[in-house]
């Protein structure tokens, strides 16, 4: 308790002590002091206002970078030319065969000599059974109608191939044939009795036209089976003449547009009638063209005007005439009885070829071992080539051709 009082007293004294001291000082007078003039401080120069900083020039806008030039496309390397394929070596032409000359046939100035082993075939190729015709173009090629195709033999006597249409078709069963110049180029004409049609085809395979079936004349044909055309020819004006040799023995005439104009002939023995008009040819050897028609089973060759009217019989002593062709002024007629007969410009007989020996084998069944060189067995087709050489194709199941060249 006492301790608490002492602490309060001390604390009160401490609080009053500053007051007592301040009162004592107020009772004493403070002597006046001389004012000491102090130099006035030099006025501080007003600080020059700092010049406003010039605004920093705005930085010039950086020029837009020029667009980088588009990189030039690297030039494409020029394509290296493909190496040209080495040219295929041209096929070596078939060596020109050398044919031996054989037997001589004929009489007087019209003697001919056999050319042996014509034509030349590759291994495995041949003729087969023959019942067709032959013809030749302006370049010396020869065309052979076999049962299965038309074979082409080049001017040197080598087998070249088969005649085909542009779409690859071959000609089967062609019976009578000719090559004629139509529109300035060679055209092959053919008759196909089994197919009831005739046709014209360029030698490049372009079919120009065909006439199928007989003319549509009431009462002429009861059925198409009665129509079996065996041959045809075309005149210089385009008129078409077709013989229905294995049918009704009519001759049908068409204009160049294959429109039927007229029909003449028919079965019979009288003049102007036929018993198998097997072959027809336009004869231009005189100023006025005419028609020569092989009347096979009547054993004669008839001469008709271009309008179909009968003129005369040229030869009534033939042995089943089947074929005919003309070279220059010379007419050749092929006979199924195994002979060729030659006539001059006036249709006078010059020579008979291939008729000896008389007792030789003849006909379709004559075997090769029985054939006699130069003698004929059954001529069914004949032609001259561009050089005047004469050919005979025979109706023979073993296939027989004979080539003759004129003895000079």
Q: How high is the pLDDT of residue 97? A: 81
> Could you tell me the two tokens for 78?
């020029």
> Could you tell me the two tokens for 200?
């014209």
Q: Residues 69-77: what's their mean pLDDT?
A: 58
Q: 370 with 384: CB under 8 angstroms?
A: no
Q: How high is the pLDDT of residue 136? A: 98
Q: What is the 3-state secondary structure (H, E, C) of 148-191?
A: CCEEEECCCCEEEEECECCCCCECCCCCEEEEEEECCEEEEEEE
pLDDT band for 71, please (50, 70, 90 cuts): low
Beta strands in 64-145 (DSSP E): 101-107, 110-115, 134-136, 142-145
91 has pLDDT over 70:
no
Q: How high is the pLDDT of residue 35? A: 43
180 has pLDDT over 60:
yes
pLDDT band for 3, please (50, 70, 90 cuts): low
pLDDT of 240-270, one tens digit each? 999 999 999 999 999 999 999 999 999 999 9
| Residue among 373, 239, 379 nearest 306 (CA) | 239
Per DSSP, the three-state class of 241 is strand
pLDDT of 198-221, one tens digit each? 999 999 999 999 999 999 999 999
304 has pLDDT over 80:
yes
Beta strands in 91-163 (DSSP E): 101-107, 110-115, 134-136, 142-145, 150-153, 159-162
pLDDT of 356-394, one tens digit each? 899 999 999 999 999 999 999 999 999 999 999 999 999
pLDDT band for 25, please (50, 70, 90 cuts): very low
In whole angstroms, give the CA distance from residue 19 to residue 7.
20
Give how far Cα 26 sits from Cα of 13, 19, 45, Å.
21, 11, 44
pLDDT of 229-244, one tens digit each? 999 999 999 999 999 9
Higher pLDDT, 345 or 1: 345
In whole angstroms, give the CA distance from residue 323 to residue 262.
24
| pTM confidence score | 0.77
Residues in the chain: 408
> Could you tell me the two tokens for 403?
């080539």
Mean model confidence pLDDT for the chain: 86
Q: How high is the pLDDT of residue 98? A: 81
In the chain, the percentage of residues whose pLDDT exceeds 70 is 77
pLDDT of 92-142, one tens digit each? 666 678 889 999 998 878 899 999 999 999 999 999 999 999 999 999 999
């Amino acid at each position: 308790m006492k301790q608490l009082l002492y602490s309060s007293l001390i604390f009160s004294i401490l609080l009053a002590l500053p007051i007592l001291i301040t009162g004592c000082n107020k009772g004493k007078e403070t002597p006046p002091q001389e004012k000491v003039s102090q130099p006035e401080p030099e006025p501080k120069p007003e600080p020059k206002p700092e010049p406003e900083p010039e605004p920093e020039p705005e930085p010039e806008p950086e020029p837009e970078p020029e667009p980088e030039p588009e990189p030039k496309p690297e030039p494409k390397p020029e394509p290296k030319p493909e190496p040209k394929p080495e040219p295929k070596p041209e096929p070596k032409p078939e060596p020109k065969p050398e044919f031996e000359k054989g037997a001589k046939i004929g009489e007087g100035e019209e003697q001919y000599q056999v050319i042996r082993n014509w034509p030349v075939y590759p291994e495995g190729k041949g003729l087969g059974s023959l019942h067709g015709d032959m013809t030749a173009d302006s370049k010396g090629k020869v065309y052979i109608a076999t049962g299965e195709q038309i074979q082409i033999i080049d001017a040197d006597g080598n087998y070249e191939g088969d005649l085909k249409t542009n779409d690859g078709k071959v000609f089967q069963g062609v019976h009578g044939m000719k090559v004629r110049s139509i529109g300035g180029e060679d055209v092959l004409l053919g008759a196909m009795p089994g197919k009831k049609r005739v046709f014209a085809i360029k030698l490049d395979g372009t079919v120009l036209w065909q006439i199928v079936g007989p003319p549509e004349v009431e009462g002429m044909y009861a059925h198409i089976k009665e129509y079996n055309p065996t041959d045809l020819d075309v005149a210089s004006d385009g008129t078409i003449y077709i013989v229905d040799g294995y049918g009704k023995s009519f001759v049908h005439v068409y204009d160049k547009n294959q429109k039927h104009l007229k029909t003449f002939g028919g079965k019979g023995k009288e003049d102007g009638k036929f018993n198998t008009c097997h072959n027809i040819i336009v004869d231009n050897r005189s100023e006025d063209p005419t028609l020569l028609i092989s009347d096979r089973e009547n054993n004669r060759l008839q001469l008709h005007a271009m309008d179909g009217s009968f003129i005369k019989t040229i030869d009534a002593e033939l042995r089943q005439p089947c074929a005919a062709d003309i070279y220059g002024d010379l007419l050749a007629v092929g006979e199924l009885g195994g002979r060729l007969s030659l006539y001059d410009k006036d249709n006078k007989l010059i020579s008979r070829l291939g008729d000896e020996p008389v007792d030789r084998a003849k006909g379709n069944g004559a075997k090769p071992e029985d054939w006699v060189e130069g003698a004929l067995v059954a001529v069914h087709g004949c032609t001259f080539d561009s050089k005047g050489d004469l050919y005979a194709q025979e109706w023979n199941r073993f296939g027989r051709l004979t080539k003759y060249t004129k003895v000079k």
